[in-house]
Each structure stands twice: as C-alpha cells, then as structure tokens.
Amino acid sequence: MSTLTYVDTNVLVYLSDPASGRKHQRAREVLSAEEATGGFTISTSTLSELYRALTRSKGRPALLSPADAERTVRRFERMNVALVTVEDLNEAMRRTQAHGRSYFDALHDAVALRSGCKRFLTEDLPGSRKNAQGVVYENPFAGL
C-alpha cells in the first residue's frame, strides 16, 4: 500500500504551483500514482509547513491567499496524516546533532520512520539513496 511512501512538503508545494512548470507536472504525476494505490503519508508538520509556504511572500506575491491555502491543505487531510509526537521531536534533535540534518528535515525523517514508511519523496537530495533503516529517499525531480 502506498501509505508506505512519505511525501515531503516541497513536493506538495510544487503540486500547488502551476508556475513551477515541469516540477508541477512531475508532482502531479507522482502523487496521482500514489493516490491511485492507496494514498501516501504526511505529517501534521508537513501540513503546517505547506500552509506557511503557500502564504508567505519572499519578495514576490504569495502563491495562494490564506483561504485558498487552507483549502489546499485540507485536501490532504484524507491522506495518512501522522501526528508529530514528543518522541519524534527528540529523535529529530538527535539526528540533527548526529548527522547534521536540518531540524525540520530530521523531524520528517523521524515521523516517516516511526510511521513505517519505506520510501521518502523529497527534493532535498540530488538522486536516490537508502538509509541505515532501509528507507529509500527519492528526488522525483531529479533529471528535470
């Protein structure tokens, strides 16, 4: 079942941004395939980050209005949404110190691992790699 795939915030942002061109199209393809086979896993942190990314402006207009961003975030409520736990927070801090990962990347790692995900879709890595726990990290935009 595809709920074994964890999807990082950046993939959802591209899905929500038609102006991102080929990355938008690739995000649509990948996530449509995941939804067709049972959905995917995200976390409450992912949803929070998505809302922020869609509504903030860094020298350019926000991608969506707050109301449209809320509707977009709510669309993903039907996926497998993992709640972030205190244990996840502690594991993220440990991973940050041990592996030099950014805190929020480490938090997503911890939630994905605890949720039993075997695949992690993110733009944060250049290609594909497997970690010591057997989770395969894939960049769906590699080669675009």
Span 107-134, pLDDT tens digits: 999 999 999 999 999 998 766 777 767 7
**138 CA to centre of own chain:** 11
Identify the domain containing residue 129 by its residue range: 2-138
Q: What percent of the chain shows pLDDT beyond 70?
A: 95
**Is residue 95 situated within a structural domain?**
yes
pTM of the model: 0.90
138 DSSP β-pair partners: 121, 128
Q: How many domains does the chain have?
A: 1
Position 83 pLDDT exceeds 70: yes
Strand partners, 45: none
Identify whether 29 is part of a domain: yes
Structural domain contains residue 61: yes
143 in any annotated domain: no
Asked whether residue 97 is assigned to any structural domain, the reply reads yes
Q: Give the mean model confidence (pLDDT) for residues 10-22.
A: 95
Residue 144 in any domain: the answer is no
On whether residue 6 sits in a domain, the answer given is: yes
CA distances from 121 to 30, 60, 62 (A): 9, 27, 24
Q: With a cut of 50, say whether residue 1 has pLDDT above it.
A: no
CATH of the domain at 40: 3.40.50.1010
Rg (CA), the chain: 15
